[in-house]
Amino acid sequence: DCTKDALYEDANLYLWGNDFLVAPVTISKEEKKTIYFPKTSNWFDFYSDKKYKAGSITFYSLEEDKIPTFVRGGSFIPMAKPMQSTKEYNGNELILHYYFDDEVEGSKYQTYNDNGLTANAYEKGEYELMEFEAEQEGNILEVELEAKMGSHYQTSVKTITLVIHNMDEPVKVKHNKKKQKFNYNNANRTLTIPLEWNTKDKLELNIKLSKK
């Protein structure tokens, strides 16, 4: 098993935030890199979705155009579409990744958003806090999205693309108790759910998992 001392001694491996584990390549023409995974969680390769068990060690094959990067199991990772400038950023369009791990019973994540123009937006109440939560009970995975507004921030309708990694094709998906369309990619085991979310209301998803 990977020990805590081994992690402390490895200067080439670090957490970026709480949910990304990054291993920069610092040796020219290096072909493999030893990766120690913390015992606290399972980890998923950001590029391939391959799962690595908590506390394990792997000899990772390096590629010229990729920095070894791993995502903590059970994490929400919000992303925006590719853009040339931050001026193109649209806070009402969001790609929300969730790294499903059946060893994680529940997850919570909070992210901040404002118009990107107002100085001291938080102090002026011109902001929103988006909260994402996932909870698994038996063969049901529940995902909730909720927003809390500053005193001078308006609710909005957001286009959300929810991408759930590391999941078998579900039996069915319900959005606020109604049947929800989804796309499933069997090759990389990802579930993609297109959603419209009015932030004045909580969005609730109920995903019935296939039995193993």
Q: What φ, ψ does residue 198 adopt, rounded to 5°?
A: -85, 115
Q: Domain spanning 4-72 has what CATH number?
A: 2.60.40.1180
For the chain, 212 residues long, give each residue's pLDDT as a single digit of tens: 454 555 555 567 889 999 999 999 888 888 999 999 999 999 999 999 999 999 999 999 999 899 999 999 999 999 998 999 888 889 899 999 999 999 999 999 999 999 889 999 999 999 999 999 999 999 999 999 999 999 999 999 999 999 999 999 999 999 998 999 999 999 999 999 999 999 999 999 999 998 76
Its CATH class, for the domain covering 76-208, is mainly beta
Domain ranges of the chain: 4-72, 76-208
Q: What is the pTM of this model?
A: 0.92
Element (H, E) at 71: strand 69-72
Tokens 């399972």, residue located: 42
Do 125 and 153 form a contact (C-beta atoms < 8 A)? yes
Domains 4-72 and 76-208 share a fold: yes
Q: Kindly calculate the radius of gyration of the chain based on its CA atoms and give it in whole angstroms.
A: 19
